[in-house]
C-alpha cells in the first residue's frame, strides 16, 4: 500500500501534488502519485461519454432547444430538451444495451464463446467512441460543439463524484483519468471495491466496473521533466499476472522491434512478482536481460530489421520543412523510385545519428547497405531507456562498457 522507498529515489514524490486539469479532450485528470503502489484497484466507467449522451439526452438538436429553458449542464449551464429524445441518444441506446449484454455473456462464458463476445463488445465499444468524436466535429451532420462540451462537463462531474464517493468509503485515490480511477486502502478486498462501484453507479447513473486489482502498479514521471507526474504513463500487474502498460517504449510505433522485445521480456519477468520486495529482487534478472541485448547489439548478433524505426508519413518528402529523419528516409526512397503516400509508414535504420552529412544519418528500408554499420550508441540508449522505464535509473552498473562521450 505504501509507496516503496527505493522507487522514490528514482521518482521522488511531490508534496501530494494535486492537479485537476482539463485536458484538451475535455476530460478530467487527477495527477498520479508517482512510484510503485501495492494492491491497487482500477475502476472504469463503462462507455462513459455515450452513457452521458443517452442519460442526459445530448444531441445537436436537443442542446439549447427553444422549448425547455431550464439550465442543466454543469459548468456551461446549457438547457437540454425535456420533450423529445434526441437522434443521437435514440441511436446509441440500443448499442449501449447490446454491449452490456455482450459483456455479461463474455464474463459468463469460456474459450471460443468468450472470445466471440469479447470481440463483439469491443466492436461496439469503438463504435460508441467514434460517436462521441463526431458529436463535436464541426462538419459532421449531427455535430455541435455545445453538445460536445455538455458531454465532457457531465463526464468531469461524474469522475469528481466518483472520487468523492471513493474517499467517503475510505479509499485513497492515487490517480484518476477521464473515466478511470486507481484506488487503494488498507486491507482492501474485492467485495469492498464492488460495493463502492455499486455506490458510484447509484449516485452518477453511470455504470462503473472493476477493471482489476493490481498486485502492484507504477506511475511513471514525464519523460521530459523527470519529477513531474503525467497522466498516461504507467504499468502494473493484475492479480492473475496480466500486465497493463501505457506510454512505455514497447507500446510506441517508432520503437525498434529489438527494443520492444527487450522491454516486453523485462516486463514479463516482473509480472510474476507479487509485491515490491519480489520486484526489487527480480531487477537483477531484468538487468541480465538488458545485458544480453546490449551484447547482441555490440557483437552484431541480430538482423538489421530488428533495428528499424517506423514513422508515419504526413506529407511528401519535398514538403517537409525540417530535415528530420523521416524526411531523409522519404527522400532516399523517392530517389530510388519508391513512392510512399501520406498515412503510410517509412522504416529506417539509424546509421550515425550525429553525422555532419545528413544523408549518412539514416538509411531507409529496404535500401540498406551491406556494410552492417549502425549507430550502436543510439540503440544502446534506447535499450537503457527502456530498462530505466521498468526498473528505474541505476546508473552505470547497467553497462558493460563505459559510455562514449560525444
Sole window of 75-83, 275-283, 292-300, 380-388 interacting with Zn ion (rule: CB under 5 A) = 75-83
3-state secondary structure of 261: helix
- Length reported for the chain: 406
C-alpha cell of residue 60: 445537436
- Site size toward Zn ion (CB under 5 A) is 5
Residue 406: Cβ within 10 Å count = 5
> In the set 68, 127, 243, 310, which binds Zn ion (CB under 5 A)?
68
Residue 21: which of 236, 228, 170 has the closest Cα? 228
- Residue selected from 10, 33, 64, 65 as contacting Zn ion according to rule CB under 5 A: 65
CB 89 within 8 A of CB 53: yes
- For Zn ion, the binding residue among 15, 16, 24, 67 (CB under 5 A) is 67
Instruction: Give the residue nearest to Zn ion (CB).
Output: 81
Dig out the grid coordinates for 346 from the structure: 517509412
Binding segment for Zn ion (CB under 5 A), chosen from 67-75, 155-163, 361-369, 377-385, is: 67-75
* Shorter beta-carbon distance to Zn ion: residue 83 or 138: 83
Contact status: 81 vs Zn ion (CB under 5 A): yes
Stretch that binds Zn ion, among 77-85, 135-143, 232-240, 254-262 (CB under 5 A): 77-85
- CB nearer Zn ion, residue 79 or residue 385: 79
List of E strands, 297-403: 309-312, 345-350, 362-364
For the record, the C-alpha cell of 223 comes out as 519523460
Question: In 272-367, where does DSSP find H-type helix?
Answer: 276-299, 325-335
Could you say which residues in the range 83-112 bind Zn ion, by CB under 5 A? Answer: 83
Residue 83 or 356 having the CB closest to Zn ion:
83
Residue 65 or 364 with smaller CB distance to Zn ion:
65
Selected range binding Zn ion among 78-86, 210-218, 249-257, 310-318, rule: CB under 5 A = 78-86
Residue 206's nearest CA partner among 53, 59, 85, 98 is 53
Q: How far is the CB of 342 from Zn ion (least distance, A)?
A: 44
- DSSP at 60: T
Integer Cα distance of 93 and 97 in angstroms: 6
Please identify, among the stretches 8-16, 65-73, 270-278, 329-337, the one whose residues bind Zn ion according to the rule CB under 5 A.
65-73
Q: Which is nearer to Zn ion, 88 or 266 (CB)?
A: 88
Q: Which is nearer to Zn ion, 66 or 372 (CB)?
A: 66
Report the b/e string of 52-79 with b at 16+ CB within 10 A: bbbbbbbbbebbbbeeeeeebbeeeebb
Taking a C-beta distance cutoff of 8 angstroms, is the pair 181, 159 a contact?
yes
Say if residues 78 and 239 touch (Cβ distance below 8 Å): no
Residue with smaller CB distance to Zn ion, 67 or 224: 67
C-beta closer to Zn ion: residue 68 or 76: 68
- Provide, rounded to whole angstroms, the least separation between the CB of residue 146 and Zn ion: 14
Q: Which stretch binds Zn ion (CB under 5 A): 79-87, 109-117, 330-338, 345-353?
A: 79-87
180 lies in the binding site for Zn ion (CB under 5 A): no
Nearer to Zn ion, 57 or 178 (CB): 57
Site string for Zn ion, 135-174 (x = CB under 5 A): ----------------------------------------
Strand order in the sheet with 362-364: 309-312, 345-350, 362-364
Residue 55 CB, nearest distance to Zn ion (Å)?
17
Closest approach, Cβ 69 to Zn ion, in A, equals 9
Q: Measured from the CB of residue 136, what is the shortest distance to Zn ion in angstroms?
A: 21
Q: Nearer to Zn ion by C-beta: 90 or 223?
A: 90
Whether the Cβ atoms of residue 390 and residue 260 lie closer than 8 Å to each other: no
Instruction: Provide φ and ψ at 373, rounded to 5°.
Output: -85, 135
Which of these, 192, 203, 191, 194, lies nearest to 165 by C-alpha position? 203
The whole-angstrom separation of Cα 2 and Cα 79 is 45
Instruction: Classify the C-alpha dihedral 384-387-388-394 as positive or negative.
Output: negative
The answer to whether residue 70 forms part of the interface with Zn ion (CB under 5 A) is: no
Helix (H, G, I), strand (E, B) or coil at 237: strand
As measured in angstroms, the least distance from the Cβ of 83 to Zn ion is 5
Q: Which residues bind Zn ion (CB under 5 A)?
A: 65, 67-68, 81, 83
Amino acid at each position: 500500500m505504501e509507496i516503496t522507498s527505493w522507487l522514490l529515489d528514482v521518482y521522488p514524490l511531490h508534496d501530494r501534488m494535486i492537479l485537476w486539469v482539463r485536458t484538451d479532450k475535455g476530460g478530467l485528470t487527477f495527477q498520479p502519485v508517482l512510484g510503485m503502489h501495492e494492491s491497487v484497484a482500477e475502476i472504469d466507467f463503462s462507455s462513459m461519454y455515450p452513457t452521458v449522451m443517452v442519460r442526459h439526452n445530448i444531441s445537436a438538436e436537443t442542446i439549447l432547444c427553444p422549448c425547455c429553458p431550464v439550465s442543466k449542464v454543469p459548468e456551461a449551464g446549457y438547457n437540454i430538451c425535456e420533450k423529445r429524445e434526441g437522434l443521437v441518444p435514440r441511436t446509441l441506446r440500443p448499442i449501449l444495451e447490446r454491449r452490456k449484454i455482450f459483456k455479461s455473456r463474455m464474463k459468463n462464458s469460456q474459450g471460443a464463446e468468450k472470445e466471440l463476445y469479447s470481440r463483439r463488445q469491443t466492436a461496439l465499444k469503438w463504435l460508441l467512441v467514434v460517436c462521441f468524436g463526431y458529436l463535436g466535429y464541426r462538419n459532421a451532420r449531427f455535430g455541435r460543439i455545445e453538445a460536445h462540451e455538455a458531454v465532457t462537463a457531465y463526464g468531469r462531474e461524474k469522475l469528481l463524484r466518483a472520487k468523492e464517493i471513493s474517499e467517503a468509503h475510505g479509499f485513497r485515490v492515487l490517480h484518476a483519468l477521464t473515466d478511470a480511477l486507481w484506488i487503494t486502502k488498507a486491507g482492501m478486498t474485492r467485495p469492498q471495491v464492488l460495493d463502492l462501484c455499486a455506490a458510484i453507479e447509484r449516485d452518477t447513473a453511470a455504470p462503473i466496473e472493476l477493471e482489476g486489482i493490481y498486485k502492484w502498479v507504477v506511475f511513471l514521471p514525464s519523460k521530459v521533466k523527470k519529477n513531474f507526474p503525467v497522466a498516461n504513463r504507467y504499468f502494473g500487474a493484475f492479480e492473475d499476472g496480466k500486465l497493463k502498460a501505457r506510454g512505455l517504449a514497447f507500446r510506441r510505433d517508432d520503437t525498434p522491434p529489438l527494443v520492444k522485445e527487450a522491454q516486453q521480456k523485462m516486463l514479463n519477468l516482473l509480472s510474476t512478482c507479487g509485491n515490491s520486495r519480489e520486484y526489487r529482487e527480480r531487477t537483477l534478472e531484468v538487468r541480465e536481460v538488458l545485458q544480453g541485448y546490449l551484447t547482441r547489439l555490440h557483437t552484431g548478433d541480430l538482423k538489421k530489421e530488428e533495428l528499424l524505426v517506423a514513422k508515419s508519413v504526413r506529407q511528401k518528402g519535398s514538403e517537409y520543412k525540417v530535415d528530420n529523419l523521416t524526411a531523409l528516409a522519404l527522400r532516399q526512397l523517392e530517389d530510388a523510385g519508391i513512392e510512399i503516400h501520406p498515412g503510410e509508414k517509412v522504416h529506417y535504420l539509424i546509421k550515425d545519428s550525429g553525422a555532419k552529412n545528413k544523408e549518412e544519418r539514416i538509411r531507409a528500408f529496404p535500401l540498406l547497405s551491406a556494410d552492417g554499420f549502425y549507430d550502436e550508441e543510439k540503440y544502446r540508449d534506447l535499450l537503457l531507456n527502456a530498462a530505466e522505464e521498468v526498473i528505474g535509473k541505476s546508473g552505470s552498473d547497467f553497462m558493460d562498457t563505459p559510455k562514449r562521450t560525444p
